[in-house]
Amino acid sequence: MAGPAFRAAAVRVRVPASSANLGPGFDAFGLALGLYDDVVVRVAESGLSVDIAGEGAETLPRDENHLLVRSMRAAFDRLGGQPRGLEVVCANRIPHGRGLGSSSAAICAGIVAARAVTIGGPSALDDAALLALATELEGHPDNVAACLRGGFTIAWTDEERASAIRLDPSEQVVPVVFVPSTEVLTETARGLLPKTVPLADAAANAGRSALLVEALTRQPELLLAATEDRLHQDYRASAMPDSAALVAALRAEGVPAVISGAGPTVLALSDEAGADRLAEFGGTAFAVHRLKLDRVGAAVLPLDL
């Protein structure tokens, strides 16, 4: 059987950073952030070329091992076949191994680009299938859901297949990230988690997660209480002691702060009045960035943008 046909024109895909967990919503909650990686992909006559600027330009592979290329290959398989050649140009801004969803962004950029360069791609791989594939590649659905859909996402998995809903975060929430210079790989941080947890801790997180849905969408004044976690942050503190101390210091001042994803970035869910005064908490160890919320998610954009 003949494989799919491909567009001759290049496509540009923009994907947002994301913060997973948000405290109690381990492996379920995701928040899309206004910090973006861009990729331009063109189907070529033969071979593979990968150009990388920005984050990872010195360290990432430029062959079939590149995460975005591997993700494109997986998506092309689902779409019915591989193109003869590929040109990939990456402009990376999301820092790697910091808990800001860089691996999910690479995966989502790859599969959205593969779908966009394939004629008939969107009907062959619909949005639900795209999320399921991204989750298979990433291992958990929280970052990829936020990266694909934007906004505040709640993801869950049934019999291995991931689904998600998207909610609009309150306009009053201003995310501030504190990014340290050191990396902690998600794999390392997940290795620190226990196999079982006390029932009281699981119950506490269930209640706070439910509260967080209301707090993040309609009542931000509840965010401090709603971002309490007892399932993962303390277990991981030994791998990111400065971040754990910063979360404690911010929370002691009444600022809703959490470890972003698997860390070591700290995310504060601030407001217009408070966001700028948070910079002083970063000291010399953290680069502090006030971001916007991303409400769009992964997007195929005009090439000249």
Show the binding pattern over residues 160-199: x = contacts ligand HSE (CB under 6 A), - = does not: --------------------------x--xx---------
Q: Which is nearer to ligand ATP, 96 or 274 (CB)?
A: 96
DSSP 212-251: HHHHHHT-GGGHHHHT--SSSHHHHGGG-HHHHHHHHHHH
Shortest distance, position 261 Cβ to ligand HSE, whole Å: 4
User: Would you say the C-alpha torsion 248, 251, 257, 258 has a positive or negative sign?
Assistant: positive
Single out the residue of 23, 175, 261, 282 in contact with ligand ATP (rule: CB under 6 A): 261
Rounded to whole angstroms, the Cα distance separating 217 from 219 reads 6
Q: Name which of ligand HSE, ligand ATP, none residue 290 binds, using a CB cut-off of 5 to 8 Å depending on partner kind.
A: none
DSSP 108-143: HHHHHHHHHHBTTHHHHS-HHHHHHHHHHHHSSSHH
103 marked as binding residue: yes
Task: Quote the radius of gyration of the chain (alpha carbons, Å).
Answer: 19
Q: Which is nearer to ligand HSE, 90 or 189 (CB)?
A: 189
Show the binding pattern over residues 60-79: x = contacts ligand HSE (CB under 6 A), - = does not: --------------------
Give the distance from CA 74 to its chain's centroid. 19
Q: Name which of ligand ATP, ligand HSE, none residue 140 binds, using a CB cut-off of 5 to 8 Å depending on partner kind.
A: ligand HSE
Residues 177-196 that bind ligand ATP (CB under 6 A): 185-186
97 marked as binding residue: yes
Shortest distance, position 273 Cβ to ligand ATP, whole Å: 28
Single out the residue of 211, 226, 262, 288 in contact with ligand HSE (rule: CB under 6 A): 262
DSSP 1-34: -----B-SS-EEEEEEEEEE-TTT-TTTEEEEEE
The helix or strand, by DSSP H or E, that contains position 106, with its residue range, turns out to be helix 102-117
Q: Is 26 in the site for ligand HSE (CB under 6 A)?
A: yes
Q: Which two tokens stand for residue 299?
A: 């997007």
CB 180 within 8 A of CB 264: yes
Q: Measuring CA to CA, which residue among 258, 255, 226, 222 is closest to residue 240?
A: 258
DSSP 151-212: SEEEEEEETTEEEEEEEPPPTT-EEEEEEESS---HHHHHHTS-S---HHHHHHHHHHHHHH
The single residue listed with the structure tokens 């992909």 is 41
Show the binding pattern over residues 97-116: x = contacts ligand ATP (CB under 6 A), - = does not: xxxxxxxx-x----------
Determine the size of the site formed for ligand HSE (CB under 6 A).
13
Q: How many residues does the chain have?
A: 305
Q: Which is nearer to ligand HSE, 134 or 262 (CB)?
A: 262
Q: Which is nearer to ligand HSE, 42 or 166 (CB)?
A: 166
Q: Which is nearer to ligand HSE, 161 or 190 (CB)?
A: 190
Q: Name which of ligand HSE, ligand ATP, none residue 142 binds, using a CB cut-off of 5 to 8 Å depending on partner kind.
A: ligand HSE
Single out the residue of 33, 68, 125, 269 in contact with ligand ATP (rule: CB under 6 A): 68
Q: Is 261 in the site for ligand HSE (CB under 6 A)?
A: yes
Residues making contact with ligand ATP (CB under 6 A): 20, 37, 56, 60, 66-68, 90, 92, 96-104, 106, 143, 185-186, 261-262
Residues making contact with ligand HSE (CB under 6 A): 20-21, 26-27, 140, 142-143, 186, 189-190, 232, 261-262
